[in-house]
Structure 1
Amino acid sequence: MAGLHLAQLNIGRLRYEVGDPRMAEFIDNLAFVNDLAERSPGFVWRYEDDSGSAIETRPFASDPRMAINLSVWDSVEALERFVWQTVHKRFYGRRHEWFERMDERYFVMWWVPAEHRPTVQEAVERLRHLRQHGPSDHAFGWESLPAAQLWKSARCA
C-alpha cells in the first residue's frame, strides 16, 4: 500500500524465567535472529528495550513472563519472507519448547504511515481490538491478507 508500512506484534508467554537454563538456546539466539531481520529486504524497524531486543519489556503487568516482538516492514511479502523463508521458521517450529500454548490470539498486524513507529501500548491496543472485534482494517492477521500464502502451511495466527 502506497505510503503505508505493515506493523506486527507477536506476544508469547515464556515457559520459564529468562535466566532459566531451559530458555538459554532461545535467549542466546535472539541477537542472531534480530540481526537477520534487520538485514532482510523490506525490514524497516523493530522495537528494542535496553537489552537490545525486547526481552525485558513486559506490557502486561499482571503477567511478567509475557514477551513481545514488535516490528515494521515495508510490505506483506517482506514480512512473510522473513517469517517463513529464513531460519526464523526453525525457531518458530520449536516455539513449544520456550513458550506456553495460548488459546487467544497472540499475533496482530496493522497498516501504519511509512514514518510511524508504533509504541508497545499502541500495539497491545491493536491486539486487544483484534481479540474483541475480530479482523478489521484496524487490526488483522494473516488471513486478512490475500497476498500472504506461506502462513497457511505453518499457521502463525
Structure 2
Amino acid sequence: MPHLALYTFGVLKSPLADPAPLTREFYDTGEAVYRKISQHPGYLARAEAVDGDRGELFEADWGAWGEFAVPTWYGKGRTVETTALAATLSLWTDLRPAFDAVYTGPHRAALNRRYDWFERAGHPNHVIWWVSDGVVPTWQDGVSRLEHLHDDGPAPHAFTFHHSFAPDGTPTRTEDIGPHSDQVR
C-alpha cells in the first residue's frame, strides 16, 4: 500500500544559530511539536540526521533520506552559523492522519505563529506526494516536487492538502479537507 510523503520548507527571519529569545522559542516549540507528531496515528517516520547537531543541515548525514537539499529560491546561508531555514520530510500512512497532525494541536498553534519566525514568501510551504511501500523519500524528491508545485500547480506528482490526489492519480477530497479547512485562521 502506498504511503504519503510530506515535505515542508520555510525561510526563517533569523539564522538558526541566532541566540535571540524568538529563535530559542522556535526551537523549543519545534521540539515539542515533533514529539507530539511522532505519536500521532498514521505517522511513520521523519528525516533525522544520523549524528546531526542542532542547526546542522547541509553537512549532516541523513542516511536513506539522502543529501540535504533546498529549493532554488533559498538565498540565505548554508553554514551552521548562517542557515536560516526550517525543513521537514516525513512519511504517513494516508492523507487524513497527516492533515490532522498538521492542522490540530501544537502544530496548529505553531502555524498560527509562523510569521513571528518565518518570512512571508510567494512560494508554497509544503508539498505532498505518494510513494510506494518501502520507499524512503529523499530531500531532493521534496525539493523537486515543491518546485514543480510552485511552477506548475498541483498534480498527482506534487500536491497540497487543498488540492489532493489519491494514489491512483485521481483528484480526491477527504472530508473536511478542502478550500477553507487548510487555511490557518
Q: Report the TM-score, using the length of structure 1 for normalisation.
A: 0.87
| Root mean square deviation, CA, Å | 2.0
Give the corresponding residue for 1:14.
Answer: 12
Whole-angstrom CA distance in 2 between matches of 1:109 and 1:148: 17
SS of match in other structure, 1:87 = helix
C-alpha distance 45-52 of structure 1, shift in aligned 2 (>3 A): farther
Quote the Cα distance in structure 2 between the aligned partners of 1:148 and 1:48: 31
Alignment partners' CA distance in 1, 2:177 and 2:111:
14
1:87 aligns with 2:106: yes
Bigger share in helix: 1
Specify the SS of the correspondent of 1:128: helix
> Given the alignment of the two structures, is residue 126 of structure 1 paired with residue 124 of structure 2, yes or no?
no
Shift of 1:117: 1.2
> Retained in 2: the 8 A contact 1:45–1:117?
no
Which residue in 2 is equivalent to 1:36?
36
Query: What is the CA–CA distance in structure 1 between the aligned matches of 2:158 and 2:151, rounded to whole Å?
Result: 10
Structure 1 residues 11 and 118 mapped into 2: Cα distance closer, same or farther (>3 Å)?
A: same
Q: Say if 1:83 and 1:148 are closer, same or farther in 2 by CA, change over 3 A.
A: farther
Structure 1: state its 5+ residue gaps: none
Q: How does 1:103-114 map to 2 (within 5 A)?
A: 103-114=122-133
Contact 2:29 2:110 in 1 (8 A): no
Q: Name the structure 1 match of 2:169.
A: none
Task: Give every structure 1 segment of 4 or more consecutive aligned residues whose post-TM-superposition deviation is greater than 3 Å.
Answer: 50-53
Residue 150 of structure 1: how far off its partner (Å): 4.8
The match for 1:142 among 138, 149, 161 is: 161
Percent identical across equivalent pairs? 30
Q: TM-score, normalised by structure 2?
A: 0.75
